């Protein structure tokens, strides 16, 4: 899809997402964590006080693109109105976790 660029040294991509809409209170974080683990990508996801969900995703570019697409559509009962994406240098995340803010 070309959403992200890969790091040629490590063949990993890292993106930082801010997801707006009805994404809290519908299990978005837990479902995102399960989807990430299914795809084999790393990173974390957290609820923000302003109602958005923040996520960092790192892994092979095609798998990161798949999780970004999943975040844009959201799980059942979530209404995603906007996803802001910024690329970051790969940092070597080794698991996917839920963070509490």
What are the structural domain ranges in the chain?
A: 13-91
Q: Which pTM was predicted?
A: 0.86
- The mean of the pLDDT values for the chain is 89
> Radius of gyration of the chain from Cα atoms?
12
* Token pair for 90: 């790969």
Count the neighbouring beta carbons within 10 Å of the beta carbon of residue 94: 9
Is 5's pLDDT higher than 70?
A: no
**How high is the pLDDT of residue 6?**
46
Domain 13-91 classification at class level = alpha beta
Backbone angles phi, psi at 35, to 5 degrees: -65, -40
Which tens digit of pLDDT belongs to each residue from 19-39? 999 999 899 999 999 999 999
Count the neighbouring beta carbons within 10 Å of the beta carbon of residue 96: 24
Catalytic residues: 29, 47
> Is the Cα dihedral 29, 56, 73, 53 positive or negative?
positive
* Token pair for 6: 């890969």
DSSP 8-state assignment for residue 23: -
Which tens digit of pLDDT belongs to each residue from 78-98? 999 999 999 999 988 899 999
What band does 10 get if pLDDT is binned at 50, 70 and 90?
Answer: low
């Amino acid at each position: 899809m070309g959403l992200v660029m890969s790091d040629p040294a490590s063949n990993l991509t890292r993106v930082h997402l801010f997801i707006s809409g009805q994404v809290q209170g519908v299990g978005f974080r837990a479902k995102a964590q399960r989807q990430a683990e299914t795809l084999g990508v790393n990173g974390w996801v957290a609820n923000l006080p302003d109602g958005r969900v923040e996520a960092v995703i790192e892994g092979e570019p095609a798998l990161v693109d798949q999780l970004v697409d999943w975040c844009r559509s959201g799980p059942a009962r979530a209404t995603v109105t906007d996803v802001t994406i910024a690329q970051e240098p790969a940092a070597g995340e080794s698991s996917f976790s839920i963070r509490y803010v």
